[in-house]
Amino acid sequence: MIIKVLGSAAGGAFPQWNCNGAQSRAVRNGDPGFRPRTQASVAVSGDGRRWVLLNCSPDIRQQILATPELHPRADDGPRNSPIRAVVLTGAEIDHIAGLLSLRERQPYTIYATTRVLETLAANSIFDALDKRIVPRAALSLDTPIGLSEAGVDLGLIVEAFAVPGKIALYLERGTAGDGYGTDIGDTIGLKVTEAATGRYFFYIPGCAAIDRGLRQRLATAPLVFFDGTLYTDDELIVQGLSDKTGRRMGHVPVSGENGSLAAFATLNVHRRIYIHINNSNPILDEHSSQRATVAQAGWEVAHDGLDVHTGNRVTR
């Protein structure tokens, strides 16, 4: 199974269009140690011909241009695409807005929880994707489902599971007491398995806390892409970029007592890769001490264009 990182940054990307923070300035300047990044999404394929996107960011057009595997095939008719399905982990703008760029009457299937499908249904702009051409399929939690497009099996099995998180920012209602309207299915993680080999990995770009259930699920995983939004819970406040903590935004920080570094230190995850990294996070600076800290703990920091080939057959 091949996994291609199309985009590795959090919402807003790196640099973010209106961000005057030190790191956004550095990457805009082309300073050494800083790579530009588009908004988080990966493409997955078993056969290298038919591809599934995990989330579809506003940067999808640029990401497709940068990825020859996702270009139309010369031997396949006047309009075609290797993209056969899109699986969504939530309804945040950085996960779904790219769907609007994938119109032009090209068939593929959208998979998402009922909660996320309700959001697409409630926003008529997504009717630009004619459901007879781009059908929408519901993901039930904790239920593996074989992905297919127009009845053709794509060779990949996806299992969606709820992770601690939050309703999309633009859908927030009410108060913290009721979780701003958050319900089960608003934020999910994905386990993606190649049917032919049993090889699998987890994709969790947004996660507010690493609870016991998630620890158990990931305990011996061969590969996990995980939420690397912020290094420190209050870094947006400290850097003067926002008045919100990471946890308020639905993102567990990398550092700290309950951060992802500490949580994963107790797990036996073979390969661990941060993705959905915010422009404020010092791990984006290849020369920072924080980058050295995560590398020492065995973490990779995803960059756009990173290719990951799943390893030897995994026994389950």
Q: Is 241 in the site for ligand MLT (CB under 6 A)?
A: no
Tell the smallest beta-carbon distance from residue 11 to Mn ion (Å).
Answer: 4
Rounded CA-CA distance 221/95 in Å is 24
Stretch near ligand MLT under the rule CB under 6 A, chosen from 89-97, 104-112, 130-138, 261-269: 89-97
- Sequence-ordered list of residues with C-beta below 8 angstroms from that of 241, at least 6 positions apart, any chain: 19, 21, 280
Scanning 88-96, 134-142, 218-226, 257-265 for contacts with ligand MLT by CB under 6 A, the matching segment is 88-96
User: Dihedral, CA atoms, 102, 105, 109, 114, nearest 10 degrees?
Assistant: 80
Report the residue from 6, 10, 139, 188 that binds ligand MLT according to the rule CB under 6 A.
10
Q: Pick the binder of ligand MLT from 2, 93, 137, 171 (CB under 6 A).
A: 93
Contacts with 161 (C-beta within 8 Å, 6 or more apart), sequence order = 141, 142, 188, 189, 190, 191, 217
The answer to whether 206 contacts ligand MLT (rule: CB under 6 A) is yes
Cα–Cα–Cα angle for 304, 298, 165, rounded to 5 degrees: 65
Query: Which window, 67-75, 85-93, 160-168, 212-220, contacts Mn ion (CB under 5 A)?
Result: 85-93
Closer by beta carbon to ligand MLT, 58 or else 82: 58
Q: Which residues contact 301 (CB under 8 A, 6 or more apart)?
A: 8, 228, 273, 274, 277, 283, 284, 291, 294, 295
68/72 Cα distance (integer angstroms):
9
The one among 92, 149, 194, 233 contacting Mn ion by CB under 5 A? 92
Residue 168 beta carbon to ligand MLT: minimum distance, rounded to whole angstroms: 7
Q: Does 94 bind Mn ion (CB under 5 A)?
A: yes
3-state secondary structure 285-312: CCCCHHHHHHHHCCEEECCCCCEEECCC
Q: Is the peptide bond before 72 cis (omega within 30 degrees of 0)?
A: no
Q: Is 227 in the site for Mn ion (CB under 5 A)?
A: no
Choose the stretch contacting Mn ion; rule: CB under 5 A; options: 9-17, 22-30, 98-106, 188-196. 9-17
Where does this chain bind ligand MLT (CB under 6 A)? Answer: 10-11, 92-94, 169, 206, 249-250
Where does this chain bind Mn ion (CB under 5 A)? Answer: 11, 92, 94
